[in-house]
C-alpha cells in the first residue's frame, strides 16, 4: 500500500477506535432492558447497522442481492457485524468481515459469540486495498457505507472483483457527492474534509466498469435519505464519541443532506 493509503486507514481507525466497545454496547443493551448475555437481533439492531437507513436498508440490499443459501460472503468494512450476522442467520451464509478498525473487529467477535453465530461469522483486521484472500474466494462481496473512507476507488473495486468468483455479485450501499461540496464537519465517517472521499455518480460507474463489475440492479426509489439511520436511530454514535460530539456529528450529516451536499446509492453488480 502507499503511504497515503496507510495514513488514511490509520485516521479511520482512530476516528472509530474505542476501547472495550463491545462491552459498552452490551452495557447499553442491559440499560435498555435487553439480555446482554444472549442479545437478540432486536437488542442489537440500533447499534450494529451503522449506515443510512439502518437495519431496513440492510434487508433491502439483501433482497436486491438475492444471494443463495450458504453463500461465501465477504463484508468489506463490515464494522461490528450487523449485516454479516443477518446474512448468517437468515441464509446460513459463511461471512468474513474485513475491517481496518481493530476495535470494530474485537466488538464484532464478542457480539457474534453472544448471538451464537461464531461458527458462521469471522472477523479479520485488514485493508480493503490489499485483501488477504485468494482470487475468486467469494460468491458475494457486501459493502455498506465504506467507500467514503477510501480515496483509491479503482484499486478498491479491482480488489473486490479479484476476490469474487466469475458470476459472483457485489452488493453496495454507499454515499455519493451531492451538487455542492460537503461543508459541515465532523461527520460520522470523517472529522475533517481531508478524510472524506465521496465520488460523484459517474465516477462510481466508471470505476465499477473498469474493474469488470457490471451493474445489474438498483432500486427505483432510494431506501432512505442519506441522513437516515445515523443519528437518533443509532445510539452507536454516542458510544463511539462523547455526547456533545455525537450530537454535532448527527446535526452535520443532516445539514449536509438537507443542503444537497451528499446523496445515497444502492446497487448490485456482477463480475463477468
Query: How many Å apart are CA 254 and CA 231, to the nearest integer?
Result: 9
Q: What is the pLDDT of residue 1?
A: 39
pLDDT-derived band of residue 18, with 50, 70 and 90 as boundaries?
Answer: confident
Domain of 187: which CATH number?
3.40.50.150
Cα 79 to chain center, whole Å? 6
How confident is the model over 38-67, as pLDDT tens digits? 999 999 988 888 888 888 899 999 999 999
For the chain, the domain total comes to 1
The range of the structural domain enclosing residue 173 comes to: 3-271
Q: What is the pLDDT of residue 222?
A: 65
How confident is the model over 74-130, as pLDDT tens digits? 999 999 999 999 999 999 999 999 999 999 999 999 999 999 999 999 999 999 999
Establish whether the linkage from the previous residue to 202 is cis, with ω within 30° of 0.
Answer: no
pTM here is 0.92
Query: How many Å apart are CA 263 and CA 177, to the nearest integer?
Result: 6
Per DSSP (E only), the strands in the chain are: 72-76, 94-99, 121-125, 138-144, 164-177, 213-217, 262-271
How confident is the model over 211-238, as pLDDT tens digits? 999 999 998 766 666 666 544 446 788 8
pLDDT exceeds cutoff 90 at 152: yes
Amino acid at each position: 500500500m502507499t503511504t497515503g493509503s496507510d495514513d488514511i486507514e490509520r485516521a479511520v481507525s482512530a476516528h472509530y477506535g474505542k476501547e472495550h466497545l463491545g462491552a459498552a454496547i452490551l452495557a447499553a443493551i442491559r440499560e435498555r432492558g435487553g439480555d446482554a448475555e444472549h442479545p437478540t437481533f432486536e437488542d442489537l439492531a440500533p447499534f450494529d447497522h451503522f449506515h443510512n437507513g439502518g437495519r431496513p436498508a440492510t434487508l433491502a440490499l439483501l433482497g436486491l442481492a438475492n444471494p443463495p443459501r450458504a453463500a461465501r460472503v465477504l463484508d468489506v468494512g463490515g464494522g461490528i457485524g450487523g449485516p454479516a450476522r443477518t446474512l448468517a442467520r437468515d441464509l446460513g451464509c459463511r461471512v468474513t468481515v474485513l475491517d481496518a478498525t481493530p476495535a470494530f473487529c474485537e466488538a464484532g467477535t464478542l457480539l457474534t459469540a453472544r448471538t451464537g453465530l461464531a461458527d458462521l461469522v469471522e472477523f479479520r483486521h485488514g485493508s480493503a486495498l490489499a485483501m488477504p484472500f485468494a482470487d475468486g474466494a467469494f460468491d458475494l462481496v457486501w459493502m455498506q457505507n465504506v467507500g467514503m473512507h477510501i480515496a483509491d476507488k479503482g484499486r478498491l473495486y479491482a480488489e473486490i472483483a479479484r476476490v469474487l468468483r466469475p458470476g459472483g455479485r457485489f452488493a453496495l450501499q454507499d454515499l455519493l457527492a451531492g451538487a455542492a461540496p460537503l461543508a459541515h464537519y465532523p461527520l460520522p465517517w470523517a472529522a475533517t474534509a481531508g478524510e472524506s472521499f465521496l465520488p460523484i455518480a459517474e465516477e462510481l460507474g466508471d470505476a465499477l466498469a473498469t474493474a469488470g463489475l457490471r451493474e445489474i440492479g438498483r432500486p427505483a426509489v432510494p431506501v432512505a435519505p442519506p441522513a437516515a439511520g445515523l443519528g437518533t436511530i443509532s445510539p452507536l454514535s454516542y458510544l463511539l464519541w462523547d455526547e456533545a460530539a455525537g450530537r454535532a456529528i448527527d446535526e452535520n450529516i443532516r445539514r449536509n443532506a438537507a443542503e444537497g451536499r451528499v446523496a445515497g446509492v444502492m446497487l448490485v453488480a456482477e463480475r463477468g
